[in-house]
Copies of this chain bind each other. A is one copy, B any other.
Amino acid sequence: VGQQPISALMHAALARPHLISLAAGFVDQASLPVSETAAAFDELMAEAAAARAALQYGTNAGYLPLREAVLERLLAADGPSGRAPSVDQVVLTAGSNQLLHLVAEVLCDPGDIVLCAAPSYFVFLGQLHSLQVRAVGVEIDGEGLLPEALEEQLARLKQLGQADRVKAIYVTSYFDNPSTVTLSLARRRRVVEIAKRHGLYVIDDAAYRLLRYAGDDLPGLRQFDDDGSTVITAETFSKSFSPGVRVGWGFLPQALVAPVTGLKAHIDFGSPNLNQHLMATVLKRGLFEPHVDLLRARYRGKLAAMLAALDEHLSGIEGVRYSRPDGGLYVWLELPEGMPAGPGGGLVERALAEGVLYVPGEYCYPPEGPPALANRIRLSFGVQSEANIRRGIEALGRAIRQSG
């Protein structure tokens, strides 16, 4: 699981400088917020006392005005639930990845279990693996995690005497990476209800929430967590602003605040204060929303370009299907039955020869649960230009036809 096989593919890719990578989950380069960052930084450095505060040590939980600002944004998006979180339940991290890692380490001992969508975000699967935590997959459909499959998996683990090892359910609830599925409103309620009944936490990875290009926003899972004790929400500015600034955050149930910030104190003594002051200034000066609007326009165009190219070059191939997401950075593609996407299977080698790289979907499956599907592909449209996306998909079409 995780980085190793993808690294091997990346190395193969580096040897081909004209390769079009539809693999990396990086963000659009041209729209990175240079002028916004520069403006915020100028303002931050203009007043000596404020500048010095940003250059001094921060706190483990992070810069209070930024924590207040992200909380305010949450309440604006979700509306206050039965029990709105307070600002002490907000912790700032090095991207949402660090929040996921902290939470997994706090909740789980080696041998414990986290239930994950099959497929799931492979970096989180790698984190669980490194913590010796078992990732057990749960089947999904077009509305996300199947409640029946979740219950079944829990019943099976109970029968094995392992019910008490299950600690959490992990779900990327908007435009999942890689399946692109958004958990439906009804399922959000069900997942939280099931978690509560079994005494589990829900880790709601909302990294892609703002990257919606069509349709209406859905409330986060914590809207269905009446007493606020169940849902952990992970968010980040990496996708919506800049991964190089690397500021993420979590909304934590009260019981997890002290353990998570305590562990964070040991791990890095708090994330960089300067970056937190910078993002607080970006928000305060109204530089964020227009940038997200710009990003949405760009990604909407890229997604449309990818879907159009898929319609043109792949829709005629029997057995090929692909998702049509309303947001995120990916399309999830199904190859004809019996056509493996991974190394050694032929297709990825032919695709490389044709000049395109993708992520074989098999890397995204938890090691337990539903078996990894060998004929799935994750296509990223974040990095490449629309022209390159079209060329890449055309090359992929050729490779698939050669493999058929």
The answer, yes or no, to whether A272 is at the interface (CB within 8 Å) is yes
Instruction: Given A34-B45, A37-B45, A274-B246, check contact A269 B55 (CB 8 Å).
Output: no
Most central of A29, A32, A267 by chain B CB within 10 Å: A267
Whole-angstrom distance between the alpha carbons of A52 and B101 in the complex? 27
Whole-angstrom distance between the alpha carbons of A56 and B26 in the complex? 8
CB-CB under 8 A from A126, the residues of chain B are: 265-266
- Tell me the residues in window 90-110 of chain A with beta carbons closer than 8 Å to chain B beta carbons: 93-95, 97-98, 101
Contact of B26 with A269 in the complex, beta carbons under 8 Å: no
Q: Count this chain's copies in the assembly.
A: 2
Whole-angstrom distance between the alpha carbons of A56 and B127 in the complex? 22
Whole-angstrom distance between the alpha carbons of A267 and B96 in the complex? 10
The answer, yes or no, to whether A21 is at the interface (CB within 8 Å) is no
The answer, yes or no, to whether A120 is at the interface (CB within 8 Å) is no
| Among listed A185-193, A212-220, A237-245, interface-contacting one | A237-245
Question: What residue in chain B is nearest A30 (Cβ atoms)?
Answer: B52
Whole-angstrom distance between the alpha carbons of A273 and B57 in the complex? 19
Interchain CB contact (< 8 A) of A272 among B30, B48, B245: B245
The answer, yes or no, to whether A38 is at the interface (CB within 8 Å) is yes
Nearest-CB distance from A295 to chain B (Å)? 13
Contact of B32 with A55 in the complex, beta carbons under 8 Å: yes
Nearest-CB distance from A384 to chain B (Å)? 14
The answer, yes or no, to whether A3 is at the interface (CB within 8 Å) is yes
Binary contact track A106-134/B, C-beta < 8 Å → 1, others 0:
00000000000000000100110011000
Most central of A51, A126, A274 by chain B CB within 10 Å: A274
Nearest-CB distance from A236 to chain B (Å)? 11
Most central of A26, A32, A33, A131 by chain B CB within 10 Å: A32
The answer, yes or no, to whether A370 is at the interface (CB within 8 Å) is no
Instruction: Given A41-B41, A268-B101, A275-B272, check contact A55 B95 (CB 8 Å).
Output: no
Instruction: Given A94-B94, A126-B266, A265-B126, check contact A38 B51 (CB 8 Å).
Output: yes
Residue count of chain A within 8 Å CB distance of chain B = 52
Interchain CB contact (< 8 A) of A34 among B55, B130, B266: B55
Nearest-CB distance from A68 to chain B (Å)? 19
Contact of A267 with B98 in the complex, beta carbons under 8 Å: yes
Whole-angstrom distance between the alpha carbons of A123 and B56 in the complex? 18
Interchain CB contact (< 8 A) of A56 among B27, B52, B55, B263: B27
Whole-angstrom distance between the alpha carbons of A29 and B52 in the complex? 7
Whole-angstrom distance between the alpha carbons of A123 and B58 in the complex? 15
- Mark A residues whose CB is within 8 Å of B: 3, 26-27, 29-30, 32-34, 37-38, 41-42, 45, 48, 51-52, 54-58, 93-95, 97-98, 101, 123, 126-127, 130-131, 238, 242-246, 262-263, 265-275, 277
Nearest 5 pairs of A and B residues by beta carbon: A246-B272, A244-B273, A38-B45, A55-B244, A32-B55
